[in-house]
Amino acid sequence: MDESERYDVVIVGAGHGGAAAAAALRQRGFAGSVALIGAEPELPYERPPLSKEYLAGERAFERMLIRPAAFWREREVTLLLGQAVTAVDAAAHRVTLADDRVIGYGRLIWSAGGSARRLACDGHDLAGVHTVRCRADVDRMIAELPGVERVAVVGGGYVGLEAAAVLTALGRRVTVIEARERLLARVAGAALADFYAAEHRARGVDVRLGAEVDSIAGNGGAAAGVRLRGGERVAAEMVIVGIGLVPAVAPLLAAGAEGGDGVIVDPLCRTSLPDVYAIGDCAAHRNSFAGGALVRLESVQNATDQAATVARHLTGTDEPYVAVPWFWSNQYDLRLQTVGLSAAHDEAIVRGVPASRRFSVIYRRNGRVIALDCVNAARDFVRGRALVTAGAVVEAAILADTDVPL
Ligand SMILES: Cc1cc2nc3c(=O)[nH]c(=O)nc-3n(C[C@H](O)[C@H](O)[C@H](O)COP(=O)(O)OP(=O)(O)OC[C@H]3O[C@@H](n4cnc5c(N)ncnc54)[C@H](O)[C@@H]3O)c2cc1C
């Protein structure tokens, strides 16, 4: 097929990483042609408010745009929106769009994020079963909400818990169904998980731990509840599935890129394909804050910092990606800020009293501070970040003492 257009840099995925890469290239004086291709019809927008202020009706979509339309026009970034890339030809340096249009590239930056993982059980595709990944998902939920009294949230991760908090505040009766024995099992320690379970329960959320979904029960084509293994049925007109992300990397893997759960990149975010980079949620990289393990991080920080790494590389400065990971989550009036990666901790120290609703959990490994989860404790977060960056060795008693500033 003939190539109808060609750009020096083609960016696939007009989300956090893609937008940051295009903006950083221009900020660094990159003068070549740049195209930003996105499957969604919208201008690049911030995803975190989807399960927070946008779902709550507190933030208009226009206030979630990463940049206004004029920004992209002025910087001569060609936006090809509502267009999904279906194939990559790495040898010919071309991508194919869903409508068969073929676009050539000098360098390709893959920042396609991923799609929400879906349930595979009976009833998974009934009306009223939702995932929370893009604006259209949340618009569908908002449109249905007037007819909904009871909501079942499948998955006790951050996205599910944020949605549970918003819908509870909007007066819905919410049940959270989590297969593991605690909430946030993949990302946080037990102290934080127990705290959030208690907070949700105190507001009337029915938190079910160790509860596995058997199927979604239907009534006339619409969801009516969730059947649990063991036979119990949780009644709900709306089911929100928050069970993780499937990286959108099929075209890259089909083109021969090394990967599996995401596409593997080196410290400059290069994939194994020539002139092809990957950043953000879909990029599996060795992270020094995870002890050099191969990880995929799903955070705005990771997407924007990896975008900066590629933009620097393409404008002549090679600086490996070594940014300290950080993340936030808002539930009710609780602002959680996390820094570092806690997964490999061998000790968790609670600083402050969780019942005061202002405390931190500090994670150590071999005596070194590797991560913090800070609830309504912004100062701990700021100072803890320096400790994590330095890999500081600090005595547990000092870390726990709120009279000693971190
Ligand atoms: C509900 C929700 C709440 C979140 N809250 C937080 C938070 O509080 N803090 C935080 O740090 N992070 C949060 N995140 C995670 C954060 O939004 C992501 O880590 C970030 O968006 C990753 O950026 P990205 O560029 O990798 O992917 P995305 O921002 O997802 O962008 C990828 C884009 O690529 C498009 N695309 C996919 N396939 C193709 C294709 N084949 N062709 C063209 N386009 C394609 C997608 O449609 C999408 O628009 C949240 C995410 C969600 C869904």
Atom in ligand 1 nearest the alpha carbon of residue 37: 43
Angle between helix 190-202 and 158-169 (nearest 10)? 20
**Which pTM does this prediction carry?**
0.97
pLDDT at 3 over 90: no
Of 60, 36, 41, whose CA–CA distance to 50 is shortest? 60
Amino acid at 160: G
User: What is the arithmetic mean of pLDDT over 236-250?
Assistant: 98
Helix or strand or coil: residue 316?
coil
DSSP string, 167-235: HHHTT-EEEEE-SSSSTTTTTS-HHHHHHHHHHHHHTT-EEESS--EEEEEEETTEEEEEEETTS-EEE
Q: What is the pLDDT of residues 341-378, one digit of tens each?
A: 999 999 999 999 999 999 999 999 999 999 999 999 99
**How much distance in Å is there from the Cα of 397 to the middle of ligand 1?**
39
Atom of ligand 1 nearest to the CA of 282: 26
Per-residue pLDDT tens digits for 72-93? 999 999 999 999 999 999 999 9
- How far apart, in whole angstroms, are the C-alpha atoms of residue 360 and residue 354? 8
- Cα distance between residue 385 and residue 146, in whole Å: 42
Residue-wise pLDDT tens digits, 256-271: 999 989 999 999 999 9
Say if residues 399 and 362 touch (Cβ distance below 8 Å): yes
Nearest CA to ligand 1 atom 37: 112
Closest CA to ligand 1's atom 2: 48
Tens-digit pLDDT profile for residues 384-396: 999 999 999 999 9
Q: What is the pLDDT of residue 4?
A: 74
Residue-wise pLDDT for 270-322, tens only, equals: 999 999 999 999 999 999 999 999 999 999 999 999 999 999 999 999 999 99
Nearest-CA residue for ligand 1 atom 7 is 48
In sequence order, what are the beta bridge partners of 357?
none
Provide the percentage of residues in the chain whose pLDDT is more than 70.
Answer: 99
Is residue 160 within a helix (H) or strand (E), and if so which, with residue range?
helix 158-169
- Percent of the chain whose predicted confidence (pLDDT) is above 90: 97
